[in-house]
A and B are shown apart, each in its own frame.
Chain A
Amino acid sequence: MTPVLDVRGLAFAYPDGHQALFGVDLHVHRGERVALLGPNGAGKTTLVLHLNGILAAGAGTVAVSGLPVTKDNIPEIRRRVGIVFQDPDDQLFMGTVRQDVAFGPANLGLKGDELEACVQRALEQVGMAEYADRPPHHLSFGQRRRVAVATVLAMEPEILVLDEPSSNLDPASRRELVDILRTLDVTVLMVTHDLPYALELCPRSVVLSDGNVVADGSTYDVLTDDTLMRAHRLELPFGFDPRTVGPAPAVG
């Protein structure tokens, strides 16, 4: 089966010469929820920006459901890969929630009733339908994060890429987001420092360190491998022990 996400030997250096990725291999299959872990500066964001062609690979290839990320394929790639950025204020820039959610599908050429239905569906998926006519800056941070997820869901992506989805959320909002993400029938790649969150949501984890994939396995095994964790500046929060929590339930 063709993986949803197929990254092979991806290397990239920024124009200032700083090399961020050294031959990254990553495969994500349909229906998987994968956490991308790694310390600050490991190259996680750089990797994410390659997935929808914002950055162009220095070497190696990226393909989404068999379609290579090249200049000609960019519009279709950006439909297939939905990125939810860390700060919802960056993602929500229109006057109302409805316009914001409509922005993506409208760029894909949807119009009228079809567009309206698509927006409604996306907002219902994240439980924000009743806020459709509110300006985004009047919502709470947790609500804005959910709308940001909806803006991407409206494009019916094949893979949802979340950049630090739990950052700045209070525990209740974190819980609500977990519940929402669990109900979605979509492949998820989640970039995070929040290891308990990764264990809760993602059966599989990939660890990126200094531009290399250094581990790829079940989240439980990664988090309980003390040598690996120490070697790559990954630390569990105080009082949290994955061994007492156990592995996350399988997807489905």
Chain B
Amino acid sequence: MGSPHGHKLHFHGHSPIHRAPAHLKLLALVGFVLVVVATPKDWFAAYAAYLAVIVGVVAISKVPPTYILKRMVVELPFVVFALLLPFVAQGPRTEVLGLSLSESGLLAAWGLLAKGTLGVLASLTLAATTEPQELLVGLERLHLPHLLVQIMGFMVRYLDVVTSEMQRMKVARESRGFTARNPRHWPVLARSAGALFIRSYERGERVHLAMLSRGYTGRMPRR
């Protein structure tokens, strides 16, 4: 199960970016995203500068650009929405390639795309250069409430367990000749999801039992 190093988003390396303390990287990411979001849509030069910053950071980190680009697919739903904007927005219209498009819609689409892309790029760069564990330590150092950090820790820990369980259920379904092709198959998928939920819930109870057995009293030990 899993590779010896890191998470699916993590790219193992030893660059200065990899070594930088996680809480500084987190602060840098949040600061960067806030600045990007606050920049007016028509300051095109500023956006070029932001992109240059990210490209620079990725270059220093020695993470292959294709590695990050491939993982940009998460942005796709936003891209679709941004592409629709020029068609549906109101206001003065302009001709592009024989299509009548809304000017304000075009600008809004540009803004959404540019800001979204920069944000996703920056986040992926953080994820590629920081182990999930370090991120949790970073969040703790930034004084995020202990409970929230713990919940995230459990999520990181059990994500792989639950996905592999889901994968096994899928294999078992397909081994019995089932593949979800059309909406008539959805009830089966829904039942699988339900079973997965109950299994995870029961695992949660077993984990709690194991914690109680080692003296857990409702507070994580501080160190």
Which of B213, B215, B223 meets A111, CB within 8 Å? B223
* Interface size of A in residues (CB-CB distance below 8 Å): 35
Q: Across the two chains, which residue of chain A brings its CB closest to B137?
A: A95
Q: Is A54 an interface residue (CB 8 A)?
A: yes
Give Cα A49 to B214, complex, Å: 13
Q: Across the two chains, which residue of chain A brings its CB closest to B5?
A: A138
Distance (Å) between the CB of B64 and the closest chain A CB? 22
If over half of B's interface residues share one DSSP class (helix, strand or loop), that class is named, otherwise mixed; here it is helix
Q: Across the two chains, which residue of chain B brings its CB closest to A76?
A: B215
Question: Contacts of B206 on A, CB cut-off 8 Å?
Answer: 85, 87, 90
Known contacts A85-B206, A94-B157, A95-B153; A78 and B133 CB within 8 A of each other: no
Give Cα A115 to B222, complex, Å: 12
Q: Is B1 an interface residue (CB 8 A)?
A: yes
Give Cα A49 to B154, complex, Å: 24
Which of A89, A115, A135, A152 meets B214, CB within 8 Å? A152
Asked whether, in the complex, the Cβ of B209 is within 8 Å of the Cβ of A78, the reply is no
Asked whether, in the complex, the Cβ of B213 is within 8 Å of the Cβ of A83, the reply is yes
Give Cα A75 to B217, complex, Å: 9
Taking residues whose C-beta sits less than 8 angstroms from the other chain, chain B's interface range is 20 to 34
Q: Across the two chains, which residue of chain A brings its CB closest to B164?
A: A137
Contact with A along B195-223 (1 / 0, CB 8 A): 00000000100110111111111000111
Q: Is B160 an interface residue (CB 8 A)?
A: yes
Question: Contacts of B214 on A, CB cut-off 8 Å?
Answer: 78, 82, 103-104, 107, 151-152, 155
Question: Contacts of A102 on B, CB cut-off 8 Å?
Answer: 221, 223
Give Cα A93 to B223, complex, Å: 17
Give Cα A75 to B215, complex, Å: 6
Question: Contacts of A83 on B, CB cut-off 8 Å?
Answer: 210, 213
In the complex, number of A-B residue pairs with CB atoms less than 8 Å apart = 85
Asked whether, in the complex, the Cβ of A137 is within 8 Å of the Cβ of B157, the reply is yes
Give Cα A103 to B213, complex, Å: 11
Question: Contacts of A104 on B, CB cut-off 8 Å?
Answer: 214-215
Q: Is A91 an interface residue (CB 8 A)?
A: yes
Give Cα A111 to B213, complex, Å: 20
Question: Contacts of A155 on B, CB cut-off 8 Å?
Answer: 214-215
Give Cα A44 to B92, complex, Å: 77
Give Cα A106 to B220, complex, Å: 9
Q: Is A43 an interface residue (CB 8 A)?
A: no
Question: Contacts of A78 on B, CB cut-off 8 Å?
Answer: 212-215
Q: Is B40 an interface residue (CB 8 A)?
A: no
Q: Across the two chains, which residue of chain B brings its CB closest to A112?
A: B223
Question: Contacts of A125 on B, CB cut-off 8 Å?
Answer: none
Asked whether, in the complex, the Cβ of B133 is within 8 Å of the Cβ of A89, the reply is no
| Residue from A102, A103, A108, A151 with most neighbouring chain B CB atoms (10 Å) | A103
Q: Across the two chains, which residue of chain B brings its CB closest to A104?
A: B214
Asked whether, in the complex, the Cβ of B133 is within 8 Å of the Cβ of A96, the reply is yes
Give Cα A137 to B159, complex, Å: 10
Scan residues 68-103 of chain A and give those whose CB is less than 8 A from a CB of chain B.
75, 78-79, 81-83, 85, 87, 89-96, 102-103
Question: Contacts of A152 on B, CB cut-off 8 Å?
Answer: 214
Give Cα A87 to B222, complex, Å: 26
Which of B157, B203, B209, B215 meets A54, CB within 8 Å? B209
Q: Is A203 an interface residue (CB 8 A)?
A: no
Known contacts A75-B215, A104-B214, A138-B2; A95 and B136 CB within 8 A of each other: yes
Q: Is B156 an interface residue (CB 8 A)?
A: yes
Asked whether, in the complex, the Cβ of B2 is within 8 Å of the Cβ of A107, the reply is no
Known contacts A85-B209, A95-B157; A107 and B1 CB within 8 A of each other: no
Question: Contacts of A209 on B, CB cut-off 8 Å?
Answer: none
Give Cα A252 to B5, complex, Å: 41
Question: Contacts of A90 on B, CB cut-off 8 Å?
Answer: 203, 206-207, 209-210
Q: Is A136 an interface residue (CB 8 A)?
A: yes
Q: Is B161 an interface residue (CB 8 A)?
A: yes
Q: Across the two chains, which residue of chain A brings its CB closest to B152?
A: A95
Distance (Å) between the CB of B10 and the closest chain A CB? 11
Asked whether, in the complex, the Cβ of A136 is within 8 Å of the Cβ of B213, the reply is no
7 closest A-B pairs by beta carbon, nearest first, are A106-B221, A107-B215, A104-B214, A90-B206, A95-B133, A91-B210, A83-B213
**Extra inter-chain contacts (17) besides given A54-B209, A135-B157, CB under 8 Å:** A78-B212, A78-B213, A82-B214, A90-B203, A90-B210, A94-B157, A96-B133, A102-B221, A102-B223, A103-B214, A104-B215, A107-B216, A108-B215, A111-B223, A137-B1, A137-B157, A138-B1
